[in-house]
Amino acid sequence: TFAIITPALMVGAFVERIRFGAVMLISSLWLLIVYAPVTHWVWGGGWLAQQGIIDFAGGIVVHVTAGISAAVIAIILGARKGFPDRIIPPHAPWMVMVGASLLWVGWFGFNAGSAVAADQNAAMAMIATHLSAATASLVWLVIEKLRFGKPSLVGLVTGTIAGLATITPASGTVGPLGGIVLGLAGGVICYLAVDLIKLRLRVDDSLDVLAVHGVGGATGTLL
């Protein structure tokens, strides 16, 4: 399941700029060249596992690899016309919210399911996941309120995903307080990363895959 989800995350960075056939080819090669080796390093007893790296549900294996790879492909493809001075907003924010809500619920299975048992570890992973997502969402809203005078629905959704990505590597090893702390850190750091990557580095990452998934997954792993 993780192997299927990860290329789907990557596509968000360069959507509308690449043909479907190219996506299928890149995804197939990526699974062999990037995903399989990193999975072995982290979960298969490889060198990262031997260094004591803990990645409960795929912070490195899924989110960091997807974020970095997506940014590389976006850079190779180049930016859309007018970027970053003219960034086209989503035409239907309510659909973005519906999709994010479904993703939020599905993430419970993503993280809690990594416990591979219906026990207290799975329950705690679910609680930590929920608290991290909620905290990061609120952080994003507060930052937008202070910066622009009003928050946005898309900003709320982006904060949610940032919180979910940040808690992923630690979801089975922290409690409720840890979920809140990681959500707070993920919300702030990922927000700053979006500005850095889009406005300063001028990387046209359509759905902020590197800033949200890559940076979020790395933040959760390090903390």
Quote the pLDDT of residue 35.
94
128 phi-psi bin (left φ>0, alpha ψ -120 to 50, beta other):
alpha
Give CA–CA dist 10/213, Å, rounded: 9
Compute the half-sphere exposure of residue 83: CA atoms within 13 Å on the CB side of its CA: 18
Q: Which long-range contacts (CB under 8 A, 24 or more apart) does 2-5 make?
A: 2/39, 2/58, 2/61, 2/62, 3/31, 3/35, 3/39, 5/62, 5/110
Quote the pLDDT of residue 211.
95
Quote the pLDDT of residue 30.
95
Cβ atoms of 88 and 207 closer than 8 Å: no
Taking the chain (223 residues) in runs of 10, the rounded mean pLDDT of each run is 87 86 93 94 91 91 95 90 75 87 91 86 93 97 94 93 96 93 97 93 90 96 92
Give CA–CA dist 70/214, Å, rounded: 9
Which CATH number is 117's domain given?
A: 1.10.3430.10
Give CA–CA dist 3/8, Å, rounded: 9
Quote the pLDDT of residue 12.
87
Show the domain range for 62. 2-222
Q: Take residue 177 and report the two structure tokens written for it.
A: 């307080």
DSSP for 74-123? HHHH-PPTTTTTSPPPPS-HHHHHHHHHHHHHHHHHHHHGGGSSSSHHHH
Give CA–CA dist 4/44, Å, rounded: 18
Please count the structural domains in the chain: 1
